[in-house]
Amino acid sequence: MTACQIMTSPEPDILVDISDVWVRFDGKWVLKSIYLKCYEGEILGIVGPNGGGKSTLLKVILGLIAPIKGTILLFGQKPGGQARLNVGYLPQISHADRSFPVTALDVVIMGLYQQMGLFTRFRPRHRQAALEKLEQVGMADHADKPFGVLSGGQQQRVQIARALVSDPRLLVLDEPSTGVDSVGQEDFYELLAGLRDSLQRISVIMVSHDIGVVTSHADRVACLNREIHYHGETDSDMDSDIHQKVFGRNLKVMVHDARCVSCNMRHVDHD
């Protein structure tokens, strides 16, 4: 046993800890008793049907939606405060407008605004950092193009670069591969794995409809259809003992296979 292994604590840091979270929209429960943890240095996939509450869950984690009940800890703190400075976010639906007069590089630099402080304009090092991220997502050649003339998939890549540019500890990505071609997707998942395995041990929470993509690239998967249906490591069946220890007693575990058939079904309204 090496020194390194002795020093590593058996329980890795918990970046996100959600317990018993309930969210309701217009009288309908969208999230019901959600328990979920995300550890340092892991890629956590969230899959589920349309309307299953995946985007809502991410917004709860980011402090954009306050739950009716339950607690969320982001780096051990309530979301919304200082904690969010360590998060890079890629929304599912971008509100960005095609006619907005910014270049791809400008968009990435926005991810650094909060670090720059008031009054200051960006400096060469900010520009450099933004260019590096554009390089990583294969968009360096388009840095000076207006954001609006880029294709949907190219805009998606630019927004991924913006999520990465502040060197966050946690990436929250809502359908990151939408519109990105298959070559781009392979590069993208390789990039995520690289970040996870880097010294910073970055964690990724990634939502996708594509169960195949998630099972091949995520370390653990949660299936969300208003409730969490299956939650475990992608390649091993989870012992229910460990399951309860890791995810809490109140987690409803529904037994089904790892391809998660029930998540492919339409959600049922339980109200």
Ligand X SMILES: Nc1ncnc2c1ncn2[C@@H]1O[C@H](COP(=O)(O)OP(=O)(O)OP(=O)(O)O)[C@@H](O)[C@H]1O
In the complex, the residues that contact ligand X under the rule CB under 6 A are 25-26, 30, 48, 50-56, 92, 209
Of the pair 2, 50, the CB lying nearest ligand X is at: 50
Of the pair 41, 176, the CB lying nearest Mg ion is at: 176
Of the pair 123, 266, the CB lying nearest ligand X is at: 266
Dihedral sign (CA 180, 183, 187, 193): positive
Q: Give the shortest CB-144-to-ligand X separation in angstroms.
A: 32
Task: Please give the full DSSP string across 201-254, using - where no structure is assigned.
Answer: --EEEEEES-HHHHHHH-SEEEEEESEEEEEEESSSPPPHHHHHHHH-TT----
CB contact at 8 A, 180 and 190 = no
What is the Cα–Cα distance from 251 to 243, expressed in whole angstroms? 9
Q: How many CB atoms lie within 10 A of CB 197?
A: 11
**Phi and psi at residue 95, in whole multiples of 5°?**
-85, 0
Considering only the stretches 41-49, 55-63, 239-247, 249-257, report the one whose residues sit in contact with Mg ion under the rule CB under 5 A: 55-63
Return the one option of other proteins, ligand X, Mg ion, none that residue 53 interacts with (CB less than 5 to 8 A, by type).
Answer: ligand X
Q: Give the shortest CB-217-to-Mg ion separation in angstroms.
A: 18
CA 41-45-49 angle, 5° bins:
165
Q: Which residues bind other proteins (CB under 8 A)?
A: 62-64, 82, 84-85, 87, 89, 91, 94-97, 99-103, 106-107, 110-111, 113-114, 116, 118-119, 121, 146, 148, 159, 162, 166
Return the one option of ligand X, Mg ion, other proteins, none that residue 52 interacts with (CB less than 5 to 8 A, by type).
Answer: ligand X
Q: Give the shortest CB-56-to-ligand X separation in angstroms.
A: 3
Residue 99's closest CA among 149, 60, 64, 50?
149
Q: Which residue is nearest to Mg ion (CB)?
A: 55
Q: How big is the site for Mg ion, counted in residues (CB under 5 A)?
A: 3
Q: Give the shortest CB-234-to-Mg ion separation in angstroms.
A: 21
Q: How many CB atoms lie within 10 A of CB 19?
A: 17
Of the pair 106, 227, the CB lying nearest other proteins is at: 106
Residue 204 in tokens:
């990724």
Return the one option of Mg ion, ligand X, other proteins, none that residue 249 interacts with (CB less than 5 to 8 A, by type).
Answer: none
Q: Give the shortest CB-226-to-other proteins separation in angstroms.
A: 20
Residue 134's closest CA among 99, 113, 160, 153?
160
Q: Which stretches of the chain bind Mg ion, using CB under 5 A?
A: 54-55, 92
